Every structure is written in C-alpha cells, then in structure tokens.
A and B are shown apart, each in its own frame.
Chain A
C-alpha cells in the first residue's frame, strides 16, 4: 500500500507541475499542430496521460486482471 500511495502522490505532483505555470505557458508557446493550438493539445494530452496513470495505479482490480491475462 505504501508503494501505491507514494506513486499516487507522485502522479498528483507530476500533474501539478505539468498543468501549472510556468509549464503550461511553455505549452501555450508551442506552434499549432495540425491547426490545433499547442496549449489545447498539450493540456488535453497531459490530462489523458494522467487519467491513464491513475487508472494504472489506483485501480488495483484492473491491474490484477491485466496481470492474470498475461
């Protein structure tokens, strides 16, 4: 549990860094990709990545079934 806790707190801190100033400001200066503004693209990308990380570490049931599949 301690391991998982540490990882979840790590995800939180990672999110705080990535979705906060000054990093978001860097995103916003990125050129548009396929016409999509850099900030929009990056923030939703980070958002999705965070969801993936939370799913991986916070949802043990999922992890179990995954490991049993393998």
Chain B
C-alpha cells in the first residue's frame, strides 16, 4: 500500500477529528451541547481503551490466553461502586474546582503545593512512557500497512512519530487551551474523544466479525480449529496459559485503581463531567463497552496463530495482518484508523491532563511570588496562564517523543501500560483514604506517595532503563550498590512473582503502611483539617447543612478584583463580581474589605484556573489572615465558654425570677384575702353603726313630733338616746383601736413592766362601776411582781376589755367577778371569771373573731361591738401569749390570758 494513501487517510481522519471538535464547540456556544448526555459521558470514559487494548490485548492473548482480561474486568467490578466513589469524587471536585488528580490530592491534604508537585511528578514519570507507546503503536501500524520497506527507513519512521506528535499537540492546544475555564470543560475535545471511542469500537468489531464470521464460520468453528493445535489449545485454560491467581489478582487491582486515577480517566470522568447523575448510566454502559471491545480479542488471537503458525508476524499486529493476508487492504486501513483513534484519543487527553497538572501544580506554585500582584502591571495574567498551559503541552509531547525515540521502541504495549498502571496505583490510597478517612494527613500522604513512587521507580522503570542501556547492567543482576536484596526484580529477596505483581506489591505495601502509620502518629494542620472535613463529608457541605467557614480571611475588594482580572480575564471577573453583588444585594464598590464568602468564592474560582495549591499561595499574598490559628480557635472556644457561662447565669436569674414571681403571687393572694376582709369589716362596721343611729333617729323624731309626751316617757327615750350614742362612740373607739393596732403591726414600744401592777390598776379603775352595779368582786394577785415585756397601754387595754365584758355579762342582780393573776410554769396567767350565762361550747371557736356578738344578759339585744375580744387576742398574740375561754367555777365564763415572763 502506498505511503501516501496511508498518510492521506490518517490525515483525513485527523481533519474529521478537528471538524467534530469545532462542530461540538459551536453547538455548545449555541447552548446545544452534544456531550451533555450519559452516553457521551460513557463513551468519553472509553478513552481507557488505547492502542494497548486495540493491538496489545491480541498480542497478550496470543501468549497468555485470557490473561489480558483482568485489565477490563477490574473496571467492571468497580463500576457498581462508582455510584458512591466516583460521584463523591465529582461532588468534591465541583465544589473545590479541582482540575486534576494531582490537584485533588494536593487539595485534600491541606492544599499542599509540594504534595501536588510530587503527585504531578509521579503522574508524568508514570504516564510519559504510556503515551509514547501510543506513538509507537501508530507508527507500527503504518509500517504494517505500508510494508516491510517502511521500517528500514528509520528517518521516515521517526518523522512519522514526530508528525503525529505535532498534530496531536496542536489538537490538544487548540481544544484544550482555547480559554481558561475554571471548570475545565472542553466540549470539542470531549466530543472528539467520544467520537473516537465509537470509531475504535466499530473498527474493532468490524475486524472481529470479519475474522470470526468470514474467515471462520463462527466462534465454535474458530475455537475448534484452534483446539487441534496444542500451542493454541493451551490458551483456552488458565493452567495452559500459565496464569496464576497472583498475576490475575494484581492486574485486577491495578486496573481497578487505573480506571479512576489515571490522569486521563480522572480528567474525563471527573473534571469534564457535566452532571454527576450520568454516573448511574455510565456504570453499566462503560462495562458494556469494555465487554464488546474484548469479545473478539481471543478469537482474533487464535485466528492469528492459525494463520501465521511460524511466528513471523508480531501478534500485536494481528488485527491488521489478518485482513492484509486475506487480501482486504481496505479493511486493514479501516482497522488501522480504529487503532489510530484509540491511540490519539489517549494521547490527547493524557497530554492535556498532564499539562494541566504541570502548569497548576508544578510550574505555578514556584512562579508565584508575593510580589506578583504588586506594581501597576495591569496585564491580563489569564493569557499568560494559557501560555504556560500550551508550553506544558509541548514539553509533555517532547518528553514523550524523546522516550519513544530512546527507550520505548523495545517494549511491548502491555508491559509499558502496566508499569504506568502501577505508578498511578500509588494515588489510590491517598484518594480513597482521603475521601473516607478524616484522620489522613499531609505527612502520611507525602510519606506514602514518596515511598510508593521510589519503590515503583526502582522495581519497574529502572530495569527498562537498564535494558535500554541508560543504566549499568549490574544493578539488575547484583542489586543496587551490590546489595543482594536490592535487586529490582526481587526486592528483599522476593522471587517467583512477575515484575508487575512484584513491583505493585512492594510499592503499595510501603505506600499504604506509611500512609496510615504516619497519619496516625502526626498531627493535622488547621487547613488540612478543614479540607479533610470537606472531602469526607462533602454531602453535608453540598446540602448546605454545614457552611461554617473555618478559613477566616480578610482581603481588600480591590485586590480580589485585581486577582480575578489577572487570572480569569477582565470580562469574566466582572461578570463574576456582578453576579455576586446581585446575589447578595451588595455594592462592592462601597466596601473596602471583602466579606469572607467573597474571598472563598475567589479562592474557588482561582483554584479552577490555577489549581488549589497555587490559588492558596496567591490568595495568601493578598489576604491578611490565614486559616484560623490555634489562638483564634481558642478565642472562639473561649467565646463559646463565655456564652455558656452567660446562659448559665441567665438560667439562675430566671430561676430567681420564678421564685420571686411565686412570692409575689402569694403576696397577691394574701392581699386579696386582706382586701376581702377589709371590705367585710367595713360592711359590718357600717351596719353596726347604722343600728344605733336608726334607733336614735327614730326616738328623736318621736320626741320632735310629739310635744305632748309624758315626761317619764321622754326621760326613758332620752336614756336610750344616751346609751345608743355611747354605744356608737364605743364602737368608733374600738375601731380606732383596732386600726391603731393593725397599722402599727406588731408592738413597737416594749418595756419591762409588772403585769400585776397593770392588773391592779385596771381593776381599781373599774372598781367604782362594779360597786355601783353591786357586783361581788374578788382580786387575787401574787406577792411578788410579775415581770413581762410589753406595751403598758395595750396590756392595760387587754385587762380592761376582759373586765368590761365580765361586768357586761355577769348576773344583773347578783353579779360576781373574780380576777386571779398567778405565776404558773414561767408564765403570767390572768383569769377573769364571771357568773354570767357563759359562752356556749359551739360559740367558743368564733368568740375571738371580729364582730362575734353574744346575746346580752337580758337576752334580747347584743351589747358589745364585737371587737373587744378580737382586739384582746390581737394584743396578746403580739406579746407572744395566748387567750382562752372556759367554763368558770362561778357558773359563767373564764377568760384566761397567758403571757411569757420576761
């Protein structure tokens, strides 16, 4: 086949690719995205299937039977877990504007610039050889198509590789770095990748169907024919193909991590993802894609071995050699285009992903200096950032080409690919642990990653460099520095494993052990803690349940505006700020200091443009405050404590208040009772006043109206008038007395006094009255004085009251009154007895209450005011004593007053 035909076809294919990408970008700018569907998303994930899958799998199948399968079974097994793991990665990356796997790791472990740089180095070292074998595959497919003469002209061979590299770099630059998008969404590029996935699957199925159904009559026929040859039949079983559980396990494990953590997979699955919901469909569509692209691999290998029994044809090229051998050059050309698409899609995405890492995590953190924003250089840094990105792409391509030229030519697709897988597997503990284990910290991540990387480099790439002549051969045979247990292929004396399993085992063992061990025994930084919490509890943050800002940073609005303009371009910056103002109803031009959520917004936007670590550095140059220091944390804690103490005090206060309220309520009740009593009292008093007044009024009226009244009658009436008036005045006196007692409360003026003297004096005062009424009287006083403490006047009143009552109620004709004072058991006891009607048992409980009146001696009319005994009891109580009534030996009542002796 003519070289020019091949070149023209491939050139045309590249032109179509550009066309698809342009078309997709135009559609996107019209708002009709072609990649915003689960199907396109799943197809873009199929960038996993490279020239390795396309050519290399058949080659491996020809040697190891089903030994090529774990690389595709691993992703299938993890697919159901994507719903948890991949979706979480997407959510985290969207909120944190993460742009690459290195950025993810750097961001998780405290936005560490050094960790990001190390991760980038791991990725670059691991992936460059992988990219270069894609170039090799493309060039090999050329040579197969064109014929044997091609390979001899080494200049052309290398040139072909160079031209392909240039074309792919141009594509990556054109569609990967058109503008600086903080979301890193590249519509055209993703559309082209999805398109390529369709092409490679269709082409591979085409050749598969051709081989199985045209060269042979179906699977059964092909396998049966193969079974006739022992060297083919051995491929049908695991024992025969020499696959053991160890290799199978390690390949599966490596591919499980590769499907999400290879830089290009992370880029398509996470960074370019436009809708996390697509994961649900991709979780079965992508495994289905893998199944379809693998179903013909073993049959083609078998057919190839049958067709070329002498081993003259490299099994890696069976897909091309078979159609050519059968005289179908056009089919071969189509299949080669499929292989070309598999290789180019991988190269484009891998180069883009690496260039983002290199610029954001390797170059920028070391370019950014505090002085970057000083001065009046109003130039737009976003242009320069794109420049850095483009240069990175070119550098990656140059490195790839250099590797291709020097080393790569000697190695098979699969072995180089697996070395890359093992490198990338070093990310797995950091990413998975980082999403589910909060304790994981920067030191642990760094220790694990570095250890894993060093062991990987020693066990896997070093031997390839030795074989390429770049390193002395004795390392392989005798170990590093001649130490026997430092042989790359049998580290620490471990033999019997294939190099990949061996390297994967040791590197991951040390990686995981150090990652966990160091994380447990070292402290976490404040920022690290914040990031850990965001990554582990991303759903909490997304649902807005926890939007607390541990990063308290202050910055000038002017500085932030400048930053955004520099890194995103003036237009985008203004649009962003405009949106922020609208959302928060703020006028930023009036503010000097930016609100902390604006700082966070700028941080996120910058992270999208230049990576988390670089954004962190940049922001540090304009923000005044770093994440909360320990001191501030303590301050916050103190404030919390103060608040707690305050609330405790409040509680106490409220309890006191409650008590007070209770007391007030009680007082109020008492007042109400008193008020009621007062009202009752007044009603009674007025009633008591009205009775004599009515009598006085009636009698006086009679005397006015009847001049002719008999003098005796008039005399009688006047007598009644006088007695009734006396009754009124007595009542008023007593009310006044009562008022006096009650208003003064308990007794005020207390003095030592002789109660016997008080009794004697009062008795003497009333003696005249009693003799007038011819009452028989008796007074018994003790010899000694009876000293009590009290108010003289009031105690006098007590004695007078009791005597008056006795006089009032004693027998009208033969009255007898006896007054006895004695000193009984440390108490002064005064007994006043009469021979009146006495107090009936039923009345006794009430006799000392106000306005309790007993009928007088003549039976008809009550004589007292009803206040005397009440006053008596009140005074006695005030003096700490008590008063009782009982039957007297004279036949009437005895009132007994007890007063404590002083």
Contact = CB atoms under 8 A, between A and B. Distances in A.
B288 A51 contact: yes
B83 A37 contact: no
Contacts of B662: none
Contact of A59 (B76, B223, B227, B284): B284
Given A35-B219, A40-B236, A47 B249 contact: no
A54 B284 contact: yes
Interface in B191-247: 219-224, 227, 236-239, 244-245
A40 B66 contact: yes
Q: Chain A interface residue count: which class?
A: 35 or more
Contacts of A20: 245, 248-249, 252
B36 to A, nearest CB: 15
Interface majority SS (helix, strand, loop, mixed), chain B: helix
A50 B223 contact: no
B80 A57 contact: yes
B281 interface: yes
Contact of B280 (A21, A47, A60): A60
Contacts of A40: 66, 223, 236, 298
B93 interface: no
Contact of A8 (B65, B81, B245): B81
A55 B284 contact: yes
Nearest to B79: A54
B606 interface: no
A64 to B, nearest CB: 11
Nearest to A41: B219
A47 to B, nearest CB: 5
B287 A21 contact: no
A39 B227 contact: no
B901 interface: no
Contacts of A57: 80
A43 B281 CA distance: 22
B281 A28 contact: no
Interface majority SS (helix, strand, loop, mixed), chain A: helix
Contacts of A19: 73, 76-77, 252
B786 interface: no
Interface string A24-41: 110011001011111110
Q: Chain B interface residue count: which class?
A: 35 or more
Contact of B236 (A25, A37, A51): A37
Nearest to B221: A35
A28 B220 CA distance: 16
Given A21-B249, A50-B287, A58-B280, A15 B77 contact: yes
Nearest to A25: B238
Choose among A19, A22, A54 the residue with the greatest number of B CB atoms under 10 Å from its CB.
A54
A47 B221 CA distance: 23
Contacts of A60: 280
A9 interface: yes
Contacts of A4: 83
B630 interface: no
Contacts of B248: 20-21, 24
A2 B283 CA distance: 18
A35 B220 contact: yes
A39 B220 CA distance: 14
Interface in B267-290: 280-281, 283-284, 287-288
Contacts of B76: 15, 19, 47, 50-51
Given A15-B77, A19-B73, A35 B224 contact: yes
B281 A11 contact: no
B256 to A, nearest CB: 10
Given A51-B288, A59-B283, A28 B219 contact: no
B84 A39 contact: no
Nearest to A24: B238
A25 B77 CA distance: 18
A12 B77 contact: yes
Contact of B78 (A5, A12, A51): A12
A37 B234 CA distance: 10
B295 interface: yes
B223 A9 contact: no
A34 B219 CA distance: 8
A8 B80 contact: yes
Contacts of B244: 21
A28 B78 contact: no
A5 B88 CA distance: 13
Contacts of B736: none
B662 to A, nearest CB: 51
B234 to A, nearest CB: 11
B69 interface: yes
23 contacts: A4-B83, A8-B81, A12-B78, A20-B248, A24-B248, A25-B239, A25-B245, A29-B237, A32-B224, A34-B219, A34-B220, A35-B222, A38-B236, A39-B237, A40-B223, A43-B66, A47-B287, A48-B291, A50-B76, A52-B284, A55-B284, A58-B80, A61-B280
Given A43-B66, A58-B283, 8 more contacts: A12-B77, A16-B77, A28-B239, A35-B222, A35-B223, A43-B73, A52-B284, A58-B80
